[in-house]
Structure 1
Amino acid sequence: MYPENLIIVWLSLIHMNPEKTPFSFLLLASLFVVLACGEVQTGREIKMGHALVTSHPVHKAMVFLAERVEEKSNGQLRIKVYPNQQLGTERELLELLQIGSLGMTKVSAAALEGFAPTMQVFGMPYLFRDDAHQKKVLDGPIGRQLLLDPEEFWLRGLCYYDGGKRSFYTKDKPIESPEDLQGLKVRVMESNMASNMVRSMGGSPTPVAYGELYSALQQGIVDAAENNPPSLFTSKHYEVCKFYSIDEHTVLPDVVLISTKVWNLLSEEEKTWVQEAADESSEYQYKIWAESTEESLRELEKAGVQISYPDKALFREGVSEMYEQMEAEQPEIYQLIKAIQLVN
């Protein structure tokens, strides 16, 4: 059994049978024995897991990446994509990369906060002036350095994907101002920045795994969530939430990552194939993302979702304290924020 499969079985045992935890730790121990013997995933076929459904444009970009690697290598190197949390949640996938039993993944920059502190900067609401500003930052020296910062945590960034603009969607009423979030349980990613943002606007941040969010909304565990249009549409959360308020509070890129344990086992030629394919998939993803966003908004309206465009100034004002807090408590991240704001 491959190491990543052992981990998947272990995680499943813990999730479904907590009382069998002692046995599961024996299984995990066997995994580390295998890893110690050098049975980490190497070239030939790299496994890539992610949490999104196959209809999502980000999944399509990862399939494109895999196809380009196979073409560039004439079949010598392949990437196999596992969607829809088949191999775990975003956090679990990152942990699998760290020990080298999974080769690649795509996660939101927010999911990287606990692994690479500088990635917190992307969680700052209203950080970018517009799309052109964001693209210039990501394609420039700041963006490139941020991709490499997680290397000390055994994660190497290859490229960014457009993660869209995140806005609130709710079950019972539209969010026209931060005051409308008062008393609402709002699903957030496992991110301190996301929690601080919702809290500063008056809501109650509630972390829920993406794959569990539909049922959490149905059952009233949360009253609202926030995400981009393609994710709202492809997840079918619109079946539960009929109000979508486009305040575009955060613009979080997705990050395509490879385990440094796998990257360091690749030849220079193989590294070139992977990096070039990633860069090409990023260009492709930006294109289909824009198309998907427009289509998703049209489909959401057809499905009866009430889409509104509240005054963003009210929301910017609501999160101003986050910048003051960052300056006082994390001056290094604050300096990074200032450097991003200065990019013309």
Structure 2
Amino acid sequence: MKNRLFFILTFFFFLQSCKDDKAIATLYLAHNMPQTHSVHKGILEFQKSLRLKSGGKLDVKIFPDGQLGSEREVLELLQIGSVAITKVSAATLSNFVPEYHVFGIPYLFEDKQHQFDILEGDVGKSILEKGSQFWLRGLCYYDAGSRNFYTTKKAIRTPEDLEGLKIRVMNNQMAINMINSMGGSATPMAFGELYTAMQQGVVDGAENNAPSFVSSNHYEVSKYYTIDQHASIPDVLLIGTKFWNKLSDQEKQWVQEAAEVSAQAQKVFWNASVEESMAIAKAAGVEIIIPEKSLFQVHSKSVLENFMKDHPEMRSIVNNIQKQ
């Protein structure tokens, strides 16, 4: 890890030292998604839009596929100024900027329209700006869909169907509490181990968005997919303040506008990937269940109550989201 960071830092400091003052300003952007993913396609739109808006004065060099490290590692590179821009999950970002924890609350959003009304409105913009005090300024949100249950033994139609089932979750306390509140047994596990674990009956299911369910081939061993939309945690495109503060007001406007163009394009790419994934799953014999979401909301209410109790400073954010 230390050797890798040393190499990356040396590499970027070398590039910076070689720059001609009259050369085009290039912003280095790193992310950990494959080049087929909607995120990478959205970032290509950011690159294209920024070139057009700046008349070629600003450019973006993209490092996809986790070339420069994990989400956390790249965030640290942004903080010290070695990389300019990245895309990370709000779940990862919450370890740096506490306000992003709010997006992990189960059933926080009524639907996708409500979610993006919030994200692209005053509440969402305020949270993007909160990161500046940690050298991580948010530019916009990308769509990462909703997390849903999928199981191997039986379909999940009501919260009671989760009782006694071992459900793989991320190593995240809110996700663990949500599963347990419904009578399931939350089982944190590395994502790479999950296929074999479901195949061998170590766990009875998991939860994730549709593209991840299909790209991981989990649909081969899990034949029930329940669209309950219990979590809608967005991705965030952000820039390190060490780079942002060096930009002129005009350059900042170009970057912000290009980011917003890319966010709208990425949503279209994401929706297409969801449709494609669901078609693949159905063709493979996966049963798609759309349950009564309010039943699940009632069971997980204690997760929200405990979060508000433990984080009273977040109460106004949650209240603003719920009343819109």
TM-score category, normalised to shorter length? 0.7 to 0.9
What is the rounded CA distance, in whole Å, between the counterparts of 1:268 and 1:71 in structure 2? 17
> What does residue 274 of structure 2 align with?
293
Report what 1:167 is aligned to: 148
**CA 1:75–1:133 in 2, change beyond 3 Å: closer, same or farther?**
same
**In the alignment, does 2:114 pair up with 1:133?**
yes
Bigger Cα displacement from structure 2, 139-148 vs 261-270: 261-270
Partner of 2:79: 98
Aligned residue for 2:83, secondary structure, equals coil
Structure 1 residues 332 and 95, CA gap change in structure 2 (3 angstroms): same
2:235 paired residue number: 254
Contact 2:165/2:203, CA 8 A, preserved across alignment: no
Structure 2 Cα separation of the partners of residues 9 and 304 of structure 1: 47
- Confirm whether residue 117 of structure 1 aligns to residue 72 of structure 2: no
Displacement after TM superposition at 1:86 (Å): 2.3
Residue 260 to residue 316, structure 1, CA distance change in 2 (3 Å): same
Could you say which residue in structure 1 is the equivalent of 2:166? 184
Determine the structure 2 residue equivalent to 1:204: 186
Structure 1's 8 and 301: CA in aligned 2 closer, same or farther, altered over 3 A? farther
Contact 1:123–1:252 (Cα < 8 Å) also in 2: yes
Aligned-partner Cα distance in 2 for 1:331–1:46: 38
Q: Superposed, which structure 2 residues align to 1:234-313 within 5 Å? A: 234-313=215-294
Instruction: Kindly indicate whether residue 24 of structure 2 is the aligned counterpart of residue 10 of structure 1.
Output: no
Correspondence for 1:217 among 162, 187, 195: 195
Tell me whether 67-76 or 233-242 shows the greater mean CA deviation: 233-242
**Aligned with 1:158 (options 135, 139, 164):** 139
Retained in 2: the 8 A contact 1:263–1:271? yes
Alignment-mate amino acid for residue 187 of structure 1:
V
Alpha-carbon distance in 2 for matches of 1:86, 1:241: 31
8 Å contact kept, 2:165–2:204: no
The answer to whether residue 297 in structure 2 is matched with residue 316 in structure 1 is yes
**1:156-202 CA distances to partner (integer Å, 9 max, x unpaired)?**
100111221110223444333334443414131x5433333233333
Farther off after superposition, 148-157 or 217-226:
217-226
Higher mean alpha-carbon deviation, 248-257 vs 237-246, is at: 237-246
In the TM superposition, residue 265 of structure 1 has moved relative to its aligned partner by: 2.1
1:341 matched residue in structure 2: 322
SS at match of 2:251: helix
Summarize the Cα distance change of 1:85–1:323 in structure 2 as closer, same or farther, 3 Å threshold: same
1:53, 1:235 within 8 Å by CA — same for their partners in 2? Answer: no
Corresponding letter in the other structure for 2:314: I
2-side partners of 1:222 and 1:53: how far apart?
A: 27
Cα distance, 1:248 vs structure 2 = 0.7
| Distance 1:125-1:303 versus aligned 2 partners, 3 A rule | same
Secondary structure of residue in 1 paired with 2:207: strand
Q: Which moved more, 1:44-53 or 1:174-183?
A: 174-183
Deviates most, 158-167 or 79-88:
79-88
Q: Secondary structure at the match of 1:85?
A: coil
- C-alpha contact 1:113 1:191 (8 A) present in aligned 2: no
CA 1:303 to 1:117, structure 2 compared with 1: closer, same or farther past 3 Å?
same
Cα deviation for residue 143 of structure 1 reads 1.1
Write the distance in 2 (CA, Å) between the matches of 1:154 and 1:56.
27
Tell me, in whole angstroms, the C-alpha distance in 2 between the residues paired with 1:104 and 1:207: 29
1:330 alignment counterpart: 311
- 3-state DSSP of counterpart to 1:290: helix
> In 1, Cα distance between the equivalents of 2:64 and 2:222?
24
Q: Post-superposition shift, 1:303?
A: 2.6
* 1:38-53 mapped onto 2 (5 Å cutoff): 44-53=25-34
Over aligned residues, Cα RMSD in angstroms? Answer: 2.9
Measure how far apart 1:271 and its partner are. Answer: 1.8
The percent of aligned pairs where both chains have the same amino acid is 43
> How many Å separate the matches in 2 of 1:207 and 1:65?
34
Aligned to 1:19: none
1:186–1:198 contact (8 Å) kept in structure 2: no
Residue 31 of structure 1 and its aligned partner are, at CA, apart by 4.9
